[in-house]
């Protein structure tokens, strides 16, 4: 019953359940069908099981979470899940105030929506007020920066050359972080390689660039 759900937690009077996808293009047509079917078949069971375990909970949020990217950069498969749910017991909760958020017609206790990139990490940091958790997104970027820099350090010569070319292209596009505007700890601890990967990771989560 829980196979399509990767993680769940209770915050306040709601249970937050996420199906986590690693990137903006990793959902395929078969996964769209599977996730749609799982929600349709199981959302009532998920709600009942939640009420039994946590009597104070009033509803559940089902989030399709994508760890990086933006609304414009995905292959749109996560939207297809939402579209397929409409008319099968789900409707938009409020098109103007909550676009893209569905709610079950029968009880209005089950919400379904997508969260991508920085919005996903904001929800992970604080499901009830995700817009206030930019620090979570920055922590993830810093972890990615250190991990990618380590990969670069241990890479073969061809990979290193390709990365240098990419770094040059980025530099020509003026994608840089002047050290004089950075916190002291960042200016001291982060190398040029770290800054390159930090910019790369950040640019993947903003349509308008950085």
* Per-residue pLDDT tens digits for 124-153: 888 888 777 766 777 777 787 777 777 667
> Which of 115, 132, 149 corresponds to the end of one domain?
132
Residue 23 has a pLDDT of 87
Same domain, 162 and 79: no
Both tokens of residue 1? 């019953």
Burial 167-191 (b: 16+ CB within 10 A, else e): beebeeeebebeeeeeeeeeeeebe
Same domain, 125 and 142: no
Q: Which of 125, 127, 99 is nearest to 113 (CA)?
A: 99
Compute the average pLDDT of residues 111-116. 95
Percent composition of the chain: helix, strand, coil (DSSP 3-state, to 5): 50, 20, 30
Same domain, 181 and 158: yes
Let me know if residue 19 belongs to a domain.
Answer: yes
Distance of CA 127 to the CA centre of its chain: 12
- What is the pLDDT confidence band of residue 210, given thresholds at 50, 70 and 90? very low
Query: In degrees rounded to 5, what are phi and psi of residue 82?
Result: -65, -40
Let me know if residue 65 belongs to a domain.
Answer: yes
Same domain, 114 and 13: yes
Same domain, 33 and 128: yes
Q: What is the pTM of this model?
A: 0.74
The helix (H) or strand (E) run that includes residue 15 is strand 14-21
Same domain, 72 and 59: yes
Whether the pLDDT of residue 95 is over 80: the answer is: yes
Residue 171 has a pLDDT of 58
Residue 197 has a pLDDT of 74
Domain span at 156: 137-203
Same domain, 173 and 86: no
209, 70, 72, 200 alpha-carbon torsion, rounded to 10°: 40
Q: What is the mean pLDDT of the chain?
A: 82
User: pLDDT for 167-204, tens place per residue?
Assistant: 655 654 555 556 566 667 766 777 777 777 777 777 77
Let me know if residue 210 belongs to a domain.
Answer: no
> Which of 132, 165, 187 corresponds to the end of one domain?
132
Lowest model confidence (mean pLDDT) among 16-20, 88-92, 187-191: 187-191
Domain count along the chain: 2
């Amino acid at each position: 019953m829980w196979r399509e759900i990767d993680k769940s937690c209770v915050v306040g009077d709601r249970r937050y359940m996420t199906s986590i996808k690693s990137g903006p293009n990793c959902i395929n047509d078969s996964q769209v069908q599977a996730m749609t079917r799982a929600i349709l078949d199981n959302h009532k069971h998920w709600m009942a099981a939640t009420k039994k375990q946590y009597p104070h909970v009033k509803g559940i949020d089902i989030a399709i979470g994508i760890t990086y990217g933006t609304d414009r950069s995905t292959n749109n498969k996560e939207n297809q899940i939402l579209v397929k749910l409409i008319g099968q017991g789900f409707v938009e909760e409020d098109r103007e105030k909550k676009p893209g958020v569905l709610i079950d017609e029968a009880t209005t206790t089950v919400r379904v929506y997508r969260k991508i990139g920085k919005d996903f990490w904001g929800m992970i940091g604080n499901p009830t007020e995700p817009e206030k958790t930019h620090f979570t997104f920055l922590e993830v970027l810093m972890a990615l920066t250190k991990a990618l820099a380590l990969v670069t350090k241990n890479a073969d010569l061809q990979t290193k050359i390709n990365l240098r070319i990419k770094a040059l292209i980025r530099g020509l596009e003026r994608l840089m972080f002047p050290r004089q505007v950075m916190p002291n700890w960042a200016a001291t601890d982060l190398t040029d390689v770290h800054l390159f990967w930090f910019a790369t990771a950040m640019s993947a989560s903003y349509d308008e660039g950085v």
